[in-house]
Amino acid sequence: MREDLSVTALVTRVGEGDQEAWNEIVERYAPLVWSICRRYQLDRADIDDVGQSVWLLLVEHIGSLREAAALPGWLATTTRHECLRVLRAGRRRDHADLPPDEQMPDDPAAATIEQELIEAERNAAIRAALAELPDRCRELISMLISDPPSAYAEISAALGIAVGSIGPIRARCLDRLRQSPHLAGFLTDEAQDVEVKQVGR
């Protein structure tokens, strides 16, 4: 049987001291933490500082999250707070002579962070679904989405399938991806709108 890789299952396993489940959570959501730091235009040293604080805080608080599904939102909020902390500390160092209100860093609108959260959750779901596809499908899709995309002739040579079969196989693999439980609720424009309303409050 496949392991249950839902956030809820991962959080439960982390509570039991499972390093693998913790690693999976970090793999899945490091891009969220990273992209929010980039929104605040932090330099690399500050991003590392924020990252370390966020993951340490998560280690400490993961057992007391009321609902495991709230984890991505908790990470986004905590990352934002930590970014502001780092920026404030930096401004105080650099502009100690300015009045305190001018030392306050710019804060990208909360809506921008919510948007990062929505995109990061969708991306994480898509990667989780992709990881569970059969190897052949994953290889084909990897070549199709590479930058620049591989030509059909290259794909044909690399994977040993006829050029004429690539289109139908691509369609089958994408269909399979759509059926992944990870993507339930993510694949329609309607689902997107609903999500914005819920998260945006």
Which parts of this chain interact with another protein (CB under 8 A)?
14, 17, 19, 22-23, 26-27, 30-31, 33-35, 47-49, 51-53, 55-60, 81-82, 84-85, 88-89, 92, 100-101, 103-104, 119-120, 122-124, 126-127, 130, 141-142, 144-145, 147, 170-171, 174, 177-178, 187-190
Nearer to another protein, 58 or 71 (CB): 58
Residue tagged 């991306």 (tokens) = 123
To the nearest 10°, the Cα dihedral for 73, 75, 81, 85? -170
Least distance from C-beta 4 to another protein, angstroms? Answer: 20
Measured between alpha carbons, how far is 75 from 84 in angstroms, rounded to an integer?
14
Residue 7: which residues within 8 A CB-CB, separation 6 or more? Answer: 25, 68, 69, 71, 72
Report, in Å, the least distance between residue 1 CB and another protein.
25
For another protein, the closer CB: 127 or 199: 127
The residues, ordered by sequence, that sit 6+ positions from 85 with a Cβ below 8 Å of its Cβ are: 53
Task: Give the nearest distance from C-beta 63 to another protein in angstroms.
Answer: 9
- Please compute, for residue 20, the number of CA atoms within 13 A of its CA located in the half-sphere on the CB side: 4
Q: How far is the CB of 86 from another protein (least distance, A)?
A: 8
Residue 40: both structure tokens together: 């605040």
Q: Which CB atom, from 1 or from 188, has the smaller least distance to another protein?
A: 188
From first CA to last CA, the distance across the chain in angstroms is: 38
Q: Which is nearer to another protein, 17 or 160 (CB)?
A: 17
- Residue 101 or 162 having the CB closest to another protein: 101
Q: Which two tokens stand for residue 4?
A: 């249950």
